Amino acid sequence: MKKILVPIKRVIDYAQKIRVDPTKGPQGVQLKNVKMSMNPFCEIAVEEAIQLKEQNKGAEVVAISVGPKQCTETIRTALAMGADRGIHIETKPDVRGDYIDLQPWAIASLLKGIVDKEDAVDLVLLGKQSIDSDCGQTGPLLAGLLNAPQATFAANIERGDDGSFTVERETDTGTETIKLNASGKPAVITCDLRLNTPRYPTMPNIMKAKKKPVETISLEDMVKELGLDLDEVLTPKNEVVEVYEPPPRKEGETVGSIDELIGKLKEKGLVA
Amino acid sequence: KVAVACPALPTSKNVALLVCNSYKDVLQVLKTSKEQLGEILSAIELIDLNTMKFVQRYGSGIGDHLISELLASEVAGNQPLFILVESQGCNQEADSSKMDAFLTSLYESSTIENGFLAQDSKHIDEIWGIRESCNPSVARAGYVHKFDVSIGIESYIEVADEVIDALNEANLPDLTVCVWGHVADGNAHINVVSGQLETNAAEAEIIENIVYAAVMKRKGSISAEHGIGQSKRKYMSQIKDGTALEIMSQMKTLFDPHLILAPGKYLP
């Protein structure tokens, strides 16, 4: 196995309370001074890539991220987990990755260009969706653009000696097993929660990561290099119309006795 | 009506779990943290090997895979000590950079054997979950003789070792000494865990005497953050001199001339 690409996304940390500024319309989600981390599903993808690398000596894991300059930290995390090198496509600081500016189509187009440029890519592992836009589209779009075999929501991945991948995927009614045959194209697999438990970066690996190469290239330069159209990439295909916080929880009702409680429950049709 | 002054919630939090080979290294971590993390240092918690093993065995399951990796540092006769370090501040980039420099200097000087750096909130919750599991895990293992003592921070493990030797000499089998606590504040808890679920008064007194003797030998206090209460009252005359006790008595009488408040409970 030669090369595994892992696109990763820097998002608002999953445990943060999201605040919406109602005066900012669709741009209302507050990003300033908010803790950011690697998207949890991307972490799972990185972990899987490293496990596959450990099983297949000589494989190279490349972490790729599109975003502002702080994305290098996200890439360093992937390197500290065990990835070999990184590619940072740097966007201007005001370009938002949470569906407002950059959307899956743009990312998939960029990734397709990188896959072609990198050459000899066996596998692209992505998180099944990002927790800010929740689209779940980048993986499938990339597979479509590459005309490559894909499997989404992977809960288990096994690589065959012939270069095929057998994937157990999550569905609403159970698990489905799909085999992606070796096709000369990279397999595209998106990762779900049960796939693995991402490791902690440990000191020895954090130290090694500082010496691993990270190529930084501006979005504009990358777009030019790949022969894409910058407008095409930066103009979102979908428009966010409105963003609002979920309505606050309604105050509960206090009752004076058990009989009153039962009465209320019956009233609301919760008890026969 | 009550007005509460609330500090602003810090926007940047960094947590790491470190592995040291000796207590001397732990003290060095403490010293270095004050020099290199300074104002953003918010917590340093110690967990010794015995405690970590109880957490693995009796804990709630939080951080299990991390605990396995931590316990793997115990090799041939080595007794690792684990430290949780937390920083809180208002600038994620600056804080992460300080934390990175701090951990790098500790690692390069071999003050730490290894370190696990939390990458997101899930890791932070896991690492704190392990720390918070110390007390309940140990309580599930058996009867716990708890000691909230103040001694010079450099003496905690020494005291633990002394207690272990004394307990062996007193022929008290089936007891494990666990040390964990807030070493950044200069305070740790010594817990003597029995293999049985109950104890008897005689055994409890022997253990108490052993621990307090080790503490008072070092001019420490038998009470740190948790107060004297009723159970430590009998030691008052050993830790406070006659004049101090007399003044304490006078203060009590000043505020409670008719001895209405908890008579006979606290002052001898």
Q: How confident is the model at residue B55 (pLDDT cuts 50, 70, 90)?
A: very high
Strands B12-20, B81-89: pairing kind: antiparallel
Q: Calculate helix-pair angle for B134-141, B49-58, nearest 10 degrees.
A: 80
Contact B121 A73 (CB under 8 A): no
| Integer Cα distance of B47 and A173 in angstroms | 44
Rg (CA), chain A: 22
Strands A3-7, B41-47: pairing kind: unpaired
- Ramachandran class of B139: left when φ > 0, alpha when ψ lies in -120 to 50, beta otherwise: alpha
Q: Minimal CA–CA distance to A146: which of A105, A107, A185?
A: A185
Q: Note the pLDDT of residue B116.
A: 95
Lookup result for tokens 């009867």: B143
Contact B11 A35 (CB under 8 A): yes
Q: Note the pLDDT of residue A253.
A: 87
Q: Note the pLDDT of residue B126.
A: 95
Residue range A255-270: mean pLDDT, rounded: 92
Residue range B43-64: mean pLDDT, rounded: 94
pLDDT at residue A131 greater than cutoff 90: yes
Q: Note the pLDDT of residue B107.
A: 96
Q: How confident is the model at residue A33 (pLDDT cuts 50, 70, 90)?
A: confident
A-B CB pairs within 8 A amount to 64
Q: How confident is the model at residue B57 (pLDDT cuts 50, 70, 90)?
A: very high
| Integer Cα distance of A235 and A223 in angstroms | 13
Task: Please give the residue of chain B at the shortest CA–CA distance from A39.
Answer: B120
Question: Which of A159-173, A231-245, B63-77, B136-150 holds the top average pLDDT?
Answer: A159-173
Taking CA atoms, B24 is separated from A59, A116, A225, B154, B186, in Å, by 41, 54, 55, 8, 15
Q: Minimal CA–CA distance to B157: which of B84, B238, B83, B226?
A: B83
Shortest CB distance from A202 goes to which of B12, B100, B114?
B114
Q: Which amino acid is at A126?
A: L
Say whether residue B198 is in contact with chain A using an 8 A CB cutoff: no
Residue range B194-222: mean pLDDT, rounded: 87
Q: Note the pLDDT of residue B135.
A: 94
Which DSSP category does A25 fall into?
G
Contacts of A40 in chain B (CB under 8 A): 120, 122
| Integer Cα distance of B134 and B149 in angstroms | 17
Structure-model confidence comparison of residues B55 and A94, the more confident one: B55
Tell me which residues of chain B, numbers 37 to 66, contact chain A at a CB-CB cutoff of 8 Å: 65-66
| Integer Cα distance of B209 and B234 in angstroms | 11
pLDDT at residue B152 greater than cutoff 90: no
Say whether residue B11 is in contact with chain A using an 8 A CB cutoff: yes
Q: Note the pLDDT of residue B268.
A: 61
Residue range A206-218: mean pLDDT, rounded: 96
Contact B104 A207 (CB under 8 A): yes
Q: Minimal CA–CA distance to B157: which of B30, B22, B51?
A: B22
Considering chain A, what percentage of its residues have pLDDT values greater than 90?
79
Say whether residue A200 is in contact with chain B using an 8 A CB cutoff: yes
Specify whether the CB–CB gap between B111 and B35 falls below 8 A. no
| Integer Cα distance of A125 and A73 in angstroms | 20
Considering chain A, what percentage of its residues have pLDDT values greater than 70?
100
Shortest CB distance from A201 goes to which of B11, B65, B117?
B117
Say whether residue B121 is in contact with chain A using an 8 A CB cutoff: yes
Residue range B96-124: mean pLDDT, rounded: 94
DSSP assignment of chain B equals: ------PPPPSEEEEEEEEESSHHHHHHHHHHHHHHTGGGEEEEEEE-HHHHHHHHHHS-STTHHHHHHHHTT--TT---EEEEEEEEES-HHHHHHHHHHHHHHHHHTTS-SEEEE--SHHHHHHHHHHHHTHHHHHHHHS-EEEEEEB--GGGHHHHHHHHHHHHHHTT--SEEEEEEE-GGGT-EEEEEEESSS---HHHHHHHHHHHHHHHHHTT-BS-SSS--TTTTGGGHHHHS-HHHHHHHHHHHHHH-TT--SSTTTS--
Residue range A109-132: mean pLDDT, rounded: 95
- Best probe of the B interface among A14, A73, A203, A206, by most B CBs < 10 A, is A203
Per-residue model confidence as pLDDT tens digits over A49-87: 999 999 998 899 999 999 999 999 999 999 999 999 999
Per-residue model confidence as pLDDT tens digits over B235-263: 777 777 889 889 988 999 999 999 898 88
Chain A closest-CA separation from residue B16 CA (Å): 10
Q: What is the mean pLDDT of chain A?
A: 94
Q: Note the pLDDT of residue A162.
A: 92
| Integer Cα distance of A200 and B61 in angstroms | 17
Residues in Cβ contact with B201 at an 8 Å cutoff, skipping those fewer than 6 apart? none
Backbone torsions φ then ψ of B203, nearest 5 degrees: -65, -45
Q: Note the pLDDT of residue A135.
A: 94
Residue range B172-195: mean pLDDT, rounded: 88
Q: Minimal CA–CA distance to A7: which of A81, A145, A111?
A: A111
Identify the sign of the CA torsion A130, A133, A136, A141.
Answer: negative
Q: Which residues pair with A214 in a beta bridge?
A: A86
Q: How confident is the model at residue B105 (pLDDT cuts 50, 70, 90)?
A: very high
Tell whether ipTM is more than 0.85: no
